[in-house]
Every structure is written in structure tokens, then in C-alpha cells.
Amino acid sequence: MQAKRNVYLQMKTLSEAREIVSHAFALDGVLATETVAVPDAVGRVLAGPVTAKISSPNYHAAAMDGLAVKAQKTFGTSETKPMELVIGQDAHYVNTGHVMPVGTDAVIMIEHARVCDDRRVAIEAAVYPWQNVRKIGEDIVATELLFAQNHLITPYCVGAFLTGGVFAVPVKAKPRVLIIPTGSELVDWRQGDLQEIQPGQILETNSFVLGKLIEACGGTYERHAKVVDDPDKIKAALNDAVQKDFQMILIIGGSSAGSEDYAKGAISALGEVLVHGVTIMPGKPVVIGTVDQKPVFGIPGYPVSAIIAFEQFVQPLICGMLGQPEPVRETIQVEPARKIASKLGVEEFLRVKLGQVGNRVVATPLPRGAGCITSITDADGIIRIPNHVEGIREHEVVTAEILRPLSSVRQTIVIVGSHDNSLDVLADEIKARCSWLTLSSSHVGSMGGLMAIKRGVCHLAGSHLLDTENGSYNLSYIAKFLPDIEIKLVNLVFRDQGLIVPRGNPKGIRGIADLHREDITFINRQAGSGTRILLDYQLKQLGLDPAAIRGYQTEEYTHMSVGVAVLSGSADTGLGIYAAAKALDLDFIPVVTEQYDLVIPKDHFESENIQILLDIIQTKRFKSRVEALGGYGTKRTGEIVL
């Protein structure tokens, strides 16, 4: 069979697609009812109303330690006219929870009575009927409604059920979802050796992520074995699935417009495709269809696309089956750290890091690629850019959905600037000492870090800007670009910069001068980074033309990304730190040892969080861990340079 490409003929907006889904599937009565023991029912949804079988308390009970009396007997008592009561006749000793003796209706607190002798006590104040008494049914009355149908059972509910004499409850069966991962390139991570994975093969992870998202919504899932890119096999797997007791089927992969994307064809062959393509990013290729009245989704293969598609379409259906409202995230107003462009006609789910700087919550964009799972795991929030907007202007205040508690966002140290592997160690050490404190780093280059300080959108910046006139680091740049901001400059590390090359250095690269060779492909760092400034200085010293270097215009934003480019073979070499080469088992040709500092505005320097950071970098543990990365010197770590 000749492969054909799908075409997005009638893409829907997000609101249109959600409207189609909400009207296409009947949700009431889809799930069976099962009975479970109350202690096991937490997290489940009641299938019907539950009423109490007994009252609580089921007798009049003393609410205090003291003396049970007939209230009327005490009327008229005062400090000037005390009354004596006879034990066993007028008053009876009781403890909290005891049954009230016959003929009594109030309790005098023990501290309000004075013992005269073994038979008599004196009181100086009257009590009123039912004072300090828990009457029958004060908490729960037999036959009263405890919880209505569709109530989500919490641990608190367990106490109410058991107290009301209810020991088992009817709940809705969990929606059952079958996940079918497709793709000949997929590899099961539970089998085989990671070292045996070949180029073009991918670990299959989406089914496990989506499965846990299903469980978090109150459903349960079953994972089908991987199905290779064969339209007949994918169709057969879907046909078999709809015959079984599943409420929904997810086909992962094969939803896009590629020549081997067969999910749409399988759904249309067995049922009806309702939507193919939604104007959202990530998540555009999603397919929504119905087979035998069951919802079937073609979920995009990129992990972030898969998650967004799940949250926008699958999650609402599962919640609807269970009679639960769709979760709504808390929102806050944020200010992006820089201008953000976006594509007209597409609603973008922009993942961002958040941190409070002064009286503003600052949002720093994360990588936008749908294949970057870390853009979700690292995200503190999501900014939804509408499809009629071209982007967000600098200093424009926008709404962000937050993915972690606001209290955590407010306890975040925001560092922007040059990438360095020691920042990962620092982030871990901070979290180890203060679990409530987070270090959030964004890599935009040293100059980008200084500009972030100038705009007031970070607490500190990482910088290694070389002054080519005198060989100093950072000082002249701070004086030039931050003249009106009082700065504290603290050394973090000294580090070895050099050329990262493949193991064995197959092309015999010896130094910067070799970058002019026609057989060398270079990978560069972005303009404004300290590494780029160092490279340009070295080229100028050697009299070499950057335009003659193959790959000079190709840029990466971190040392690890440069190393990966060399490891993958897309570049023969790139300028980076020794720690990146060591981490990826690559060879390294030293060029220079440079100074990497923390640039901290004085307004933040005295803050508690920054002082914690500064204390940690001076510890023996931090320095030892950094030195173990390779290519680092910590003799001056923590020293105030300016």
C-alpha cells in the first residue's frame, strides 16, 4: 500500500473542538455502580445519595467533665446565694462522653463546683437546659442525607460515614481507558539495554504519562502493546478495543499529517472523525472521533502535545463521566521577562518559570518545542496566548495559570544569564537545605543576564564577560550597562573553557585556528553570551574571519547543548566548558580558564534568600560537588569581587 499524507482540511479552534466533544458523547449512565468499603472509597465518586443509619451521638452525652444536674434545680443560684447539691441525688459525677443520667439535662463544669465533703458540692452559678450536653443527633440524625450523588469522597468523609453507621457505599466504576502506543520507532524502556538503542529509536513514555494522568482524574487505564506503523494493524487494534469494556480509547502517535500517521484512517474506517487538527500549540495534530459511540482520540506523539491534548479534551470527558467539574487552575497576573512573539491564528500554551521579584511576579519562557518534556516539568505556570494576538509586549501584564502553589512561586530565587553546570548543583543544595526555597535559572547569555537586572526581572545574573582590553571579567560591563544600579559581584567559580570534540578527536583539532578548516563544522553560542565574546576575541587575536567558519551562525544556548551537538555528529566541535565535555564523555581542548560571577543588585543582596544562597556556595559540600564535575576551581568561591 502506498502511504498517503493526511491534510488538515478543516481545523477547529479550541473552543469549537471542545464544544464538539461536549455534544458528541453521552456521559450520564456510562459507568456501572460498584460497592466498596468506606475506608477504601477515598477518591471515588458516589453513584447515589447516602443517608445515615444511626444518629450521632445516639444518646444524650456529657460534653464536659463535671456534674450532671437538672438545670431547673440550679435556678436562682449566684455568688451571693450559693447552692449545695447532694451527690447521687441532685448531682451526678460524669466524664466527657458519658451517658447523661436519667432526669438530668445539663452539666456543671467540674472547675465551677466546690467540694464540701463526700456527699455535698457547692455551686455559685446556675446552668441552663442542655448546657454542656451533646444531645441525641447533634452531629448526625438517622436517615438524614450525608452526601449526595456525585460527591467526591475525601478522608474526612470516612469519619462521617462510619459515625453514621454506613460501612459500605455505592460508587461509580472508574472510567476504563485503553492506550494504544503506535510507531515502529518505539522502544519499551522496561526491556533491553539503553546502550543498544539505535539512532531513530525512541523510548515509549507517553502511555505511562497519560496513564497516570488518567488515574489522577479518577480513571483507570490499560496499556496495549506497541503497534508498528501498519494501517491494518492499527485498525485491528482499535476494532478489538471497541468490542471490550473500555469507555475510551487513546491512540498515541499517528495523528499528524505524515505519511505514516494512520490514526485518522483507522478511526474513519471504523467510525467517524469529528475533529482533525485544532488551532493550538502544542497539540495541533489531535484527532477526535467516535467508534461504536465510544470516544476515540488520536493523541500527538510529542510529549507536551500529548499532555495538552489530554488536558483539553480527554480530562473533561473523564470528569464528566464521573459527574465531576473539570479542574480549574489558580491564576495570577505576571510580567514576562522579555517580549514574546507568537503566531497569529494559533492559541499557544506557553510554559514559563515564575518568581516574585520585588512586587512583581516575573515569567520567563521555557523552550517551546512540543518534544521538550522538561518544558512542562520545569514550568511553574502556563500563559495562554489567544489566537488573535501576535505575542506579548515587554512589561505587558498577562494572566498565567499556575502549576504549583503561589507560596512556592514567591519563594523562588530567579537567576538569569549565562549557563553553567554548577547552577544545577546549587539548585539541589538549596533544595536540600531549605525545601521551601527554589532556584530557577534561565539561560540567555551573560549580556542577557545584565539586561534582565536592568529591567528588574531577576534577583541575580550569572556572567563571565571578558574585558578584552585588560583581561578582567564583568566589571567594565557592569559599569557600562548598569551605571545606575548598585551591584554586588560575587565569584561563583573559575572554569575551563575550550573546544569540545568527539572522543578520540578524529579530525585532529588542536585549537581555535583549526576552525577555519573546510572539513570542520562548528557549533556556536548565541550572541551576547560570554562564550561568544571569548570566541570572537580569540578569532580577532588570530586574525580569522568569523564568516569563513562553517557553522558560525548556528547557535545553542547552553554548554550541554553544544556538547550534544558534537556527540550527535551534527558538529565537529564547539566552544564550551570542560564539565559539559566530561558529562558526555567527550574530549576537550583547553583554551582559557575564566571567571564566572554572580551579579546581584544590592536591593536583593541583603534578602534572606540570597544570603542563604551565598552561605551555601561557601560550604565545603558545595565546592566538593562542583569540583567533581571537572574543570572547576573554587578557591575564590563566595569572594565579593565588587
For residue 618, the domain's CATH number is: 3.40.190.290
For residues 309 and 350, membership in a common domain is answered with: no
Which of the listed residues 321, 339, 367 is the one where a domain comes to its end?
321
Q: Are 121 and 295 in contact (CB under 8 A)?
A: no
Which of the listed residues 351, 376, 404 is the one where a domain comes to its end?
404
Instruction: Work out the angle between the directed axes of helices 620-629 and 608-617 (0-180°, nearest 10).
Output: 60
CA distances from 563 to 155, 447, 522, 558 (A): 50, 22, 11, 9
Under-70 pLDDT residues of the chain: 1-9, 254-261
For residues 111 and 237, membership in a common domain is answered with: no
Domain assignment present for residue 554? The answer is yes
Grid cell listed for 551: 557553522
Three-class SS state of 233: helix
For residues 162 and 217, membership in a common domain is answered with: no
Domain assignment present for residue 621? The answer is yes
CA distance 478 to 460: 13
What pLDDT is recorded for position 12? Answer: 95
pTM, rounded to two decimals: 0.88
Strand (E) or helix (H) holding 223: strand 220-223
The residues with which 220 forms a beta bridge, in sequence order, are 176
Cis preceding-peptide flag for 282 (omega within 30 of 0): yes
CA distance 214 to 221: 7
Grid cell listed for 151: 460527591
Domain assignment present for residue 231? The answer is yes
Grid cell listed for 580: 559539559
CA distance 571 to 616: 37
For residues 179 and 167, membership in a common domain is answered with: no
What pLDDT is recorded for position 9? Answer: 55
Q: Are 222 and 179 in contact (CB under 8 A)?
A: yes
For residues 526 and 566, membership in a common domain is answered with: yes
Rg of the chain over all Cα atoms, to the nearest angstrom? 34
For 514, half-sphere exposure in the C-beta direction (CA atoms, 13 angstrom radius) is 20
For residues 189 and 310, membership in a common domain is answered with: yes
Instruction: Work out the angle between the directed axes of helices 422-433 and 608-617 (0-180°, nearest 10).
Output: 120
Q: Are 187 and 203 in contact (CB under 8 A)?
A: yes
For residues 496 and 568, membership in a common domain is answered with: yes
Domain assignment present for residue 201? The answer is yes
CA distance 337 to 472: 28
Which of the listed residues 379, 404, 429 is the one where a domain comes to its end?
404
Q: How many domains does the chain have?
A: 5
Instruction: Provide the CATH number for the domain around residue 268.
Output: 3.40.980.10
Domain assignment present for residue 642? The answer is no
Q: β-pairing, 145-147 with 66-69?
A: unpaired
For residues 480 and 375, membership in a common domain is answered with: no
Q: Are 391 and 281 in contact (CB under 8 A)?
A: no
For residues 477 and 535, membership in a common domain is answered with: yes
Buried b (16+ CB within 10 A) or exposed e, 259-277: ebbbbbbbbebbbebbbbb
Domain residues for the domain of 186 are: 14-28+175-321
CA distance 136 to 480: 79
Grid cell listed for 303: 510529549
DSSP state of 640: B
Domain assignment present for residue 433? The answer is no
What pLDDT is recorded for position 392? Answer: 95
What pLDDT is recorded for position 259? Answer: 45
CA distance 418 to 401: 28
**Apex 207 CA angle, 300 and 307, nearest 5:** 50
For residues 78 and 200, membership in a common domain is answered with: no
CA distance 97 to 62: 5
Domain assignment present for residue 618? The answer is yes
Instruction: Provide the CATH number for the domain around residue 104.
Output: 2.170.190.11
For residues 285 and 301, membership in a common domain is answered with: yes
**Apex 566 CA angle, 560 and 568, nearest 5:** 100
Read off the amino acid at residue 447. M
Instruction: Provide the CATH number for the domain around residue 41.
Output: 3.90.105.10
CA distance 615 to 187: 45
CA distance 439 to 263: 42
CA distance 275 to 298: 10
Q: β-pairing, 555-556 with 522-525?
A: parallel
Domain assignment present for residue 453? The answer is yes
What pLDDT is recorded for position 1? Answer: 36
Q: Are 642 and 478 in contact (CB under 8 A)?
A: yes
For residues 250 and 345, membership in a common domain is answered with: no
Cis preceding-peptide flag for 57 (omega within 30 of 0): yes
